[in-house]
Amino acid sequence: MKPLAWAYLALAYVFIFLPVAVLVVFSFQDGRLPVPPLQGLSLRWYEKVLSDGDLMTALGHSALVAVISSALALTLGFLAAHALARVHLPGSAVMRGLLIAPMTVSYLIIALGLLALFSQTGVRLSLWTAGIGHVVINLPLCFAISFAAMGDHQQAAERAARDLGASEAQVLWHVSAPMLAPALAAAFFLSVTFSWDEFIIAFLLTRFDVTLPVEIWSMLKSGLSPATNAVGSLVFLVSVTLVVILELTTFRKGRA
């Protein structure tokens, strides 16, 4: 059975990482199309991408929206989870269901609803409106992860801190948040990843200042190019680097 298990594991990894491997390999394609056969190796597409002002601006926009919206979604999700986990209110189950409900709704529906809302209220579409949309889709995720990580041992530590004279803000900052650091880091990183890759909301809720997925879509309208593969490879490198840093710091520390 062990050889079959290893074979299954190998096939699973190939299925997951083969598209990424193809993306990276053909980002070094010397020809003009990212298709076989591989016509030599070159770094010119990376040079083109890194010297493209519009692409680098869109990259900065994506990073800005991802970090700010994820931080806000994490803060709101953590506070909501802490309140519903520690205080038993009438209809708590309904409140939890309503907070998680946006996870079951299509991004297109959420984007259209927010677009209609902003149009009716006269709010100009920008990176901020896209960020609001990303908070809407990431807050339920942050809430669910935070709520699931809260246990009785945290509650006992919080009660002890209150008995020693700590205020609610001090309990949250010095006791609750540090004890939930691995879960909060996971929620934040997942939110950044989802925001970074999200296209529909960013496309419908921005106009002139666009994010990286929207800029890549604009590039694809003119046809396939190894430059798009180079962009994808750089994004993948950044994501892997963040995962390794989190594994070596927060997650390993949490398991210890």
pLDDT in tens, the chain (256 residues): 677 888 888 888 888 888 888 878 777 777 666 666 667 677 778 888 888 788 888 888 988 999 999 999 999 999 888 888 877 777 777 888 888 888 888 889 999 999 999 999 988 988 999 999 999 999 999 999 888 888 777 777 877 888 778 777 887 788 888 888 888 888 898 888 888 888 899 999 988 888 888 888 887 776 667 777 788 788 788 777 777 777 776 655 555 5
pLDDT for res 2:
76
**Cβ atoms of 148 and 187 closer than 8 Å:** no
pLDDT at 52: 79
In this prediction, residue 234 carries a pLDDT of: 81
Quick: pLDDT tens for 187-242: 898 888 888 888 899 999 988 888 888 888 887 776 667 777 788 788 788 777 77
Q: 57-255 — its CATH code?
A: 1.10.3720.10
Closest CA to 141 of 94, 195, 180: 195
Token pair 């700010």 in the structure block, residue = 68
For 58, 189, 210, 234, the CA distances from 241, given in Å and listed in that order, are 20, 12, 25, 11
pLDDT value for 255: 54
CB 107 within 8 A of CB 137: yes
Tokens of 157: 């530590």
* Structural contact between residues 71 and 192, judged by C-beta atoms closer than 8 angstroms: no
Paired with 41 in beta bridges are 29
What one-character DSSP code corresponds to residue 158? H
Give the C-alpha separation, 75 to 255, whole Å.
Answer: 23
| pLDDT, position 95 | 83
Residue in this structure with the two tokens 């650091």, named with its chain if needed: 181
**SS3 state at 29:** strand
Q: Does residue 169 sit in helix, strand or coil?
A: helix
Q: Which residue has the tokens 């680097």?
A: 241
The Cα–Cα gap between 215 and 59 comes to 9
